[in-house]
């Protein structure tokens, strides 16, 4: 029994941490006279072995002489092998992924990384046809810069609206959230009705207060 538990534990650890890097032993003829390099990145969740291998194959066929890959959830804030891939890129290089969701969990993260790459004159390309590069006309770069600024604008305006709503509610004396605010008079009424033997449901019908709030008031009253 211990042996099987040990094997399962090892498999779980491997599934969560397994990362590896493919490097082509020999350059393709089309790469020998290129100064720039193509680096690939592949990602899959912990049990998608075939899917990860499929991505690596596609990236190798696309001409990537270096492919970083890892088993990791898309929700993870830090993807070590993706960071390694980006750090290996320099001016004129390109990062290739099969599709955007292999590397980015949302639009904001995608725009942030694209702008980072464009500012370093690094191209981003997917096998589904997406392409981002810092062209000589700067038109492409400007588009992604604008999109990034619009995303930041949306975040800032939402944050400001929330602050304004909280301030208005505070000034008007409304509840700011969390537990419903019950007046001391209603709380004493709940406790009196309970002491007189009324059930929780009967108290709710007489006061209009939710059962969960009634329970809390009574429990807090018993502790005093």
pLDDT tens digits for range 108-158: 888 888 888 988 989 999 998 888 777 644 555 566 666 666 666 666 667
Determine phi and psi for 157, rounding to 5 degrees. Answer: -65, -40
Q: Which residue has better confidence, 26 or 104?
A: 104
Amino acid 89: pLDDT:
94
What is the 3-state composition of the chain as percent helix, strand, coil, each rounded to the nearest 5?
Answer: 55, 10, 30
Confidence of residue 47 (pLDDT cuts 50, 70, 90): confident
Whole-number Å distance between alpha carbons of 51 and 47: 9
Confidence of residue 20 (pLDDT cuts 50, 70, 90): low
Predicted model pTM: 0.55
CA 191 to centroid of chain Cα atoms: 46
Q: Which residue has better confidence, 1 or 85?
A: 85
Tokens 């969740």: give the residue: 45
Q: Which residue has better confidence, 179 or 186?
A: 186
**Architecture category of domain 18-149 in CATH:** 3-Layer(aba) Sandwich (3.40)
Name the residue among 22, 5, 21 with its Cα closest to residue 13: 5
Q: Which residue has better confidence, 111 or 42?
A: 42
Structural domain boundaries in the chain: 18-149, 184-223
Strand 66-71 relative to strand 123-126, pairing: unpaired
CA distances from 120 to 91, 116, 146, 170, 188 (A): 6, 7, 17, 47, 67
Whole-number Å distance between alpha carbons of 108 and 77: 13
Amino acid 137: pLDDT:
43
């Amino acid at each position: 029994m211990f042996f099987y538990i040990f094997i399962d534990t090892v498999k779980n650890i491997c599934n969560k941490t397994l990362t590896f890097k493919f490097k082509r032993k020999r350059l393709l003829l089309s790469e020998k006279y290129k100064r720039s390099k193509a680096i690939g990145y592949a990602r899959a969740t912990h049990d998608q072995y075939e899917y990860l291998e499929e991505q690596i194959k596609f990236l190798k066929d696309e001409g990537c002489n270096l492919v970083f890959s890892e088993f990791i959830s898309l929700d993870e804030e830090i993807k070590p092998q993706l960071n390694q891939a980006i750090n290996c890129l320099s001016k004129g290089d390109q990062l290739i992924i099969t599709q955007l969701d292999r590397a980015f969990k949302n639009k904001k993260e995608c725009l942030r990384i694209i702008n980072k790459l464009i500012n370093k004159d690094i191209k981003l390309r997917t096998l589904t046809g997406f392409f981002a590069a810092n062209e000589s006309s700067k038109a492409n770069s400007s588009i992604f810069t604008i999109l990034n600024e619009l995303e930041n604008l949306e975040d800032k305006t939402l944050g400001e609206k929330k602050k304004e709503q909280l301030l208005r509610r505070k000034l008007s004396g409304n509840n700011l959230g969390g537990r419903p605010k019950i007046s001391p008079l209603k709380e004493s009424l709940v406790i009196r009705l309970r002491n007189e033997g009324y059930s929780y449901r009967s108290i709710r019908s007489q006061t209009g207060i939710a059962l969960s709030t009634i329970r809390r008031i009574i429990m807090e009253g018993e502790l005093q």
